[in-house]
Amino acid sequence: MEICGIDEAGRGPIAGPLVVAGCIFKIENGELKIENYLEMLNDSKKLSAKKREELFEIIKETCEYHIVFIDNVTIDKKGLSFAIKSALSEIKEILKASKYLFDGNSNFGVSGIETIIKGDSKIKQISAASILAKVSRDKYMLEIADKYPMYNFKKHKGYITQEHIEEIKKNGFSDIHRKSYRLKALEPTLF
């Protein structure tokens, strides 16, 4: 049975894209190509950045995968649920599997996708998708950080930190900030 594990990165940040990845383990000569690395796979949040980077390259070489980026403009216009639903649909369309497992408790109305709470720690295909999504998003945020030096995206990658809130108070929103996200800490200043 071919299982496609799916996970996302970037649901919570106030800047940057949502990234959703799907991953199927390739079989070659009757064996999983990623077999020697299965024990290392885990929820991306539990791995060091260095280990995620190493596994990212291994996963890309040994698995079939698809990564979807949903930009902040789409999230602002259509909402996070729409963004996740469209990414799940795209992954299901492109990656052919007998079973689709998504980390979390909602399939966002996409039929044929099963959900598993804490799936990124329980199912190795979801762990691999978690790593693909997290590393892809982090790389994107590091690449654009030089365009927006006043926000220090290299440090927090768009997630809400006190430093990021202070940067927004000082500089306003950039064109990659999610304007639909409300921060109570900013309301007296910006809204």
Ordered domains of the chain (ranges, CATH) = 3-145 (3.30.420.10)
Rg (CA), the chain: 17
Q: Where are the beta strands (DSSP E) in 26-112?
A: 27-28, 31-32, 63-70, 99-103
Specify the DSSP class assigned to residue 89. H
Tens-place pLDDT, residues 69-95: 999 999 999 999 999 999 999 999 999
Tell me the whole-structure pTM to 2 decimals: 0.91
Residue with tokens 């071919």: 2
Amino acid at 79: G
Write down the pLDDT at residue 59.
94
pLDDT averaged over 10-residue windows placed end to end, the chain, 191 residues: 94 96 90 80 83 93 97 96 97 97 94 95 94 97 96 95 93 93 61 44
Determine contact, residues 19/137, Cβ cutoff 8 Å.
yes
Determine contact, residues 14/160, Cβ cutoff 8 Å.
yes
